[in-house]
A and B are shown apart, each in its own frame.
Chain A
Amino acid sequence: MADNQGLITQMRKGAVEYCILALLAGRERYGYELVQVLSSVHGMLVSEGTVYPILSRFRREGLVATEWRESTSGPPRKYYRLTPAGEAALAEFREQWRVFVRAVDTFLEQGGML
């Protein structure tokens, strides 16, 4: 089912953006660290590089702020943290996602009985 695969890809693409925002909730992280955490959960990232265009867009849209900092163990790192706008976007998605998942689950689990 090629269409199904395309839908999953689209959903993952959309969801991964909010997973990145969620990973930044309450703490700052550098890019490679974000990629590592996302990759550690199977099925979240198809290619690691795609995280960076997303982070750039967040920065352009003011959802995250960035800062380069020296690292003790290697090259300088660019740290990302949520701005108030980023926190608001995450909170809104969190709310809508719960409603959406509950709605879809309702049909998936008891569709024939409704």
Chain B
Amino acid sequence: MNERDRQRLVDGYLRRLARELDDAPREARQELLEDVRSHIEEAWAASGQTQADLQAILQRLGEPAALAAEEREKLGLPAPARSPDLLAVAAIIFTVLFWPLGLLLAWLSARWRTRDKVIATLIPPLGLALVLSVGLAAYRSGPVVSGPAGATGGTSPWLQVLGWTLALLGLFAPLAAAVFLAWRLRPRPGWSWLLAIAGTGAVVCLLILVFFLQALPNGGRPATGPAPVRTAEVITNP
């Protein structure tokens, strides 16, 4: 059995074990992974070093889920849920569509730690605050009141670019919160799940963005004058 195949089998076993202990304290997880890896190395060194030997070693260790269940019991952690449930998926999708409802669902779900719920809840309002403050700042430094670029009488181009970038970031804040929630699902689902959830959210958010940009009179292009303020209106209206 070549070294690469061996590593692949061992790493696969340890990865499954790690995934089952995703919500365990990092030190406890690391310790168990280290102990089990050390066990496999010892047993391998003493074995005939064929693929069948390695499979027997892993089989005698027990299923990663069973081993993790033992560790979870010792740590006083609840048994993990198997896959993302309807409530969790609904929470993520609704965070994109209408974030107050989505985040409410997230708080009802047991699939996130309180810390993660707090972070996800802070993201959309902070994004909104960012857009509003930038819009306001851009408006004040605009043609009416002369700001840093007051000598020429208009909003400086870099400020407009900055304003629009931040405004877009603010618009995407609920999407960021949804992606964060998908990422912090516990126990962590596979990559395909995360991609599916985040992808759905991204498509929905893009559709909403396109819809609003088309609804703008000038097609959404940044114009001189009060354009950033219009962005703020876009954010507050839905």
Stretch at the interface among A4-12, A45-53, A87-95, A100-108: A45-53
B5 contacts the other chain (Cβ, under 8 Å)?
Answer: no
Q: Interface on chain B toward A: helix, strand, loop, or mixed SS?
A: helix
A64 contacts the other chain (Cβ, under 8 Å)?
Answer: no
Question: Bound complex: CA of A39 vs CA of B59, how far in Å?
Answer: 14
Chain B residues near A39 (CB-CB < 8 A): 60
**Which residue of B34, B39, B41 is within 8 Å of A48 (Cβ)?**
B39
Q: Count of A-B contacts with CB under 8 A?
A: 68
> Number of contacting residues on A, CB 8 A?
22
B11 contacts the other chain (Cβ, under 8 Å)?
Answer: no
Chain B residue at minimum C-beta to C-beta distance from A75: B41
**Which residue of B28, B39, B66, B74 is within 8 Å of A32 (Cβ)?**
B39
A77 contacts the other chain (Cβ, under 8 Å)?
Answer: yes
- Whether B62 and A46, one on each chain, are in contact in the complex, defined by CB atoms closer than 8 angstroms, is yes
A56 contacts the other chain (Cβ, under 8 Å)?
Answer: yes
Chain B residue at minimum C-beta to C-beta distance from A61: B74
Chain B residues near A47 (CB-CB < 8 A): 60-63, 66-67
Chain A residues near B43 (CB-CB < 8 A): 32
Question: Bound complex: CA of A31 vs CA of B35, how far in Å?
Answer: 8
- Whether B71 and A78, one on each chain, are in contact in the complex, defined by CB atoms closer than 8 angstroms, is no
Chain A residues near B35 (CB-CB < 8 A): 31, 52, 55-56, 78
From residue A31, how far is it (CB to closest CB) to chain B in Å? 6
B85 contacts the other chain (Cβ, under 8 Å)?
Answer: no
Question: Bound complex: CA of A35 vs CA of B62, how far in Å?
Answer: 13
Question: Bound complex: CA of A54 vs CA of B28, how far in Å?
Answer: 12
1/0 per residue, CB under 8 A from A, across B27-59: the answer is 010011011101101110100000000000000
B233 contacts the other chain (Cβ, under 8 Å)?
Answer: no
- Whether A49 and B62, one on each chain, are in contact in the complex, defined by CB atoms closer than 8 angstroms, is yes
Question: Bound complex: CA of A77 vs CA of B37, how far in Å?
Answer: 11
Chain B residues near A73 (CB-CB < 8 A): 45
Question: Bound complex: CA of A76 vs CA of B45, how far in Å?
Answer: 12
Question: Bound complex: CA of A46 vs CA of B63, how far in Å?
Answer: 11
From residue A78, how far is it (CB to closest CB) to chain B in Å? 6
Given contacts A32-B42, A52-B39, A52-B71, 9 further A-B contacts (CB under 8 A): A47-B67, A49-B36, A49-B62, A50-B70, A52-B67, A53-B70, A53-B71, A77-B38, A77-B42
Binding site for B on A (CB under 8 A): 30-32, 35, 39, 46-50, 52-57, 73-78
The 3 residue pairs across chains A and B that have the minimum distance between CB atoms = A47-B62, A32-B42, A49-B61
